[in-house]
Amino acid sequence: MSDSLRDIMRKAGVDDVKGREQAKWRERSEEYLNHVEQDADKDELEKRHDRFRRQQEYTSQLGPATERLPILSREETKRRAKERSKKKKMEFEGPIEKLIEKYKDPKEVFKHLSLGQLMKYELDESTGCIYEGEKMIFDGGKII
């Protein structure tokens, strides 16, 4: 229907489009109010049951769950296992003197310290010195 014809009908008092729109909104509001009234009468267990039932209804429309799951090849499974980040173990490997002898590099030594040792020692990254409080333990080349 053209705009000019709609304007003429509106002026004449016949506005079917507006009436249909109002009827549609009235119907939607009544549905919502009925739904709210029905929920008000239910206890928590019935509400939970209805929510679970709606969820199952929705998932049944998607198809069987096994078809939605990705089926991975052995290679893909191995690749994902390799890419998965490994949690760093913070365990005691020995006193700091033995770690310095074993790894030589101060940054590498700090990667292998336990949590308690990390709290006790500090690394000066610019010089490579390791300090225990204010006292220098390792000057970057030898243990003091």
Half-sphere exposure of 97 (CA within 13 A, CB side): 2
Q: Inform me whether the pLDDT recorded for 112 exceeds 70.
A: yes
Helix, strand, or coil here: 101? helix
> pLDDT digits over 34-92, tens only?
877 777 778 889 889 988 998 888 888 877 776 667 788 899 889 988 888 777 777 78
- pLDDT of 23 reads 87
Q: Quote the longest CA-to-CA distance of the chain.
A: 104
Q: Inform me whether the pLDDT recorded for 134 exceeds 70.
A: yes
> pLDDT digits over 98-107, tens only?
988 898 888 8
- How far apart, in whole angstroms, are the C-alpha atoms of residue 41 and residue 46? 10
Q: How many CB atoms lie within 10 A of CB 50?
A: 13
Q: Where are the domains of the chain?
A: 3-68, 96-138
- Per the listing, tokens 């949590």 go with 115
pTM of the model: 0.40
